[in-house]
Amino acid sequence: MKDWRADYERHPSLDFPTGNIKGFSDSEETFYITHGYGYYFPVQAREVFVQDERYFGSDWMEPKIEGPEAHHVSTMRFSAGLRGVSSAVLSDYLDKHIEGHFEEFVDSYFEGTPFVTDMVKTVYRFWRREQTPVIRKSLKLLLAYNLTQHITMLVGKADEEILEGRVYDGNSKVRGKVIAPVMINFQVKVAMADLWRELQKDVLEELSHLYSSVYSRDKLKHWPTIFMVATILLTVWEEMQFDCYYRVLDTAVVNKFCHDMESTPVGVIVNLFLAISQKLPALSEWDTHKHHNLLNSNAAVCDALTEVRANVTRHDTYLRGRCNATFDRDDFDSLSNKFTSKLVIRAN
């Protein structure tokens, strides 16, 4: 992960020339920023004075049945104020999603991607019942990583205050919305990227402790938590691998990053999970009536595994083919379940 910035760096052809900036306004005003899932956060913004206004366009891609569709609008010439984008404010913003309509976010963002959509919601429902801190942190990591890639929008501005940024393209999912100033969008991405990196670091440390505890005490005590956290981590790493292929131009760098990821962290998590699952039935064979005592008859665990069994059974043929998934620039789901399938199929 060191020096990897593909999640927020703009493509070289879209670089913003800092020499184009002549100065900033002395006054600041409050902008409210959203990713479009029902919540928003404040950013103090100031006007930017430039020599060439052409560099304030914002670009994004939207998945369509016939392939990704590119969109572009010119945005207002504003930047975050002297204090930048607050990580504490962003963290609270993420917490609102977790505590609120998280399942709606999953449905909207993943758009029914097989297996992963159901599994993320299963993990979330389990957390709602058990309130396990590290599972919550892993869900927050998933949210933060995906919002780092996401376009940002303005809310709460009167029509007369919106000089640029409104989307008029009838084919866009955000038609009628106002895209945030491109400089603020980038500053939010950088702040969000810092957040998910810290969350990932914490989650990995806690997962390591959970695995270690397995070999010193009851092997199955933390099995459900390990399974839930590993599922979310592998989902994020699948997305990360796709983004690396999609955004990084140097093929050698991409191949090394993806090879290192699959050979070490993915392999370690999957193989350790397999090792601690030997005394449990295959996920597709879980039967609460027969097996509840293996996991202390915990109702939340049993209900979650019943959901997992249904998900694995329904997508069995699909999952067994995912380990050989390859990158396709026109298919945002081309690497989905590449790693999570290894976790659940090997556990079978």
Q: What is the pLDDT of residues 169-183, one digit of tens each?
A: 999 999 999 999 999
The structure tokens listed for 140 are 């927050």
* Exposure b/e, 81-119, CB count within 10 A at least 16 = b: beeebbeeebbebbeebbeeebeebbeebbeebbbbbbb
Residue 133 one-letter amino acid: P
User: Cα(245)–Cα(7) distance, rounded to whole angstroms?
Assistant: 11
Q: What is the pLDDT of residue 16?
A: 58
Beta bridge partners of 238: none
43 Ramachandran zone, left/alpha/beta (phi>0; psi -120 to 50): beta
Cα 6 from Cα 249, distance rounded (Å): 10
pLDDT band at 14 (very low <50, low <70, confident <90, very high): very low
Comparison of pLDDT for 13 and 206, the residue scoring more:
206
* Angstrom distance (rounded) from CA 185 to CA 182: 5
Do 75 and 153 meet the contact criterion of CB atoms below 8 Å apart? no
| pLDDT per position as a tens digit, 30-44 | 999 999 999 999 999
Instruction: Please give the Cα distance from 312 to 309 (Å, whole number).
Output: 5
Could you tell me which residues come within 8 angstroms of residue 187 by beta carbon, excluding any fewer than 6 positions away? 43, 79, 80, 84, 85
Query: Helix 102-110 vs helix 116-130: angle between axes, to the nearest 10 degrees?
Result: 170
As a whole number, mean pLDDT of residues 195-214 equals 94
> What is the value of pTM for the model shown?
0.94
Rounded CA gap, 137 and 143, in Å? 10
pLDDT digits (tens, 9 = 90+) for 113-128: 999 999 999 999 999 9
Q: Answer whether 135's CB lies under 8 Å from 229's CB.
A: yes
- Contacts of residues 164-169 at CB distance under 8 Å and 24 or more positions apart, as own/partner, are 164/56, 164/73, 164/74, 164/75, 164/76, 165/58, 165/73, 165/74, 165/75, 165/76, 166/73, 167/71, 167/73, 169/71
Q: Which two tokens stand for residue 119?
A: 């599994």
Residue 19, C-beta contacts closer than 8 angstroms, at least 6 positions apart: none
Are 188 and 152 contacting, i.e. CB atoms less than 8 angstroms apart?
A: yes
Contacts of residue 278, Cβ cutoff 8 Å, sequence gap at least 6: none
3-state secondary structure at position 116: helix
Share of residues in the chain with pLDDT > 90 (%)? 76
**Alpha carbon distance 76, 164 (integer Å):** 5
As a whole number of angstroms, the distance between CA 78 and CA 97 comes to 26
Judge whether 100 and 86 are in contact, CB under 8 Å: no
What is the distance in angstroms between the CA of the first residue and the CA of the last residue of the chain?
Answer: 31
Condensed to tens digits (0 to 9), the pLDDT of residues 301-336 reads 999 999 999 999 999 999 999 988 999 999 999 999
Phi, psi (rounded to 5 degrees) for 71: -135, 155
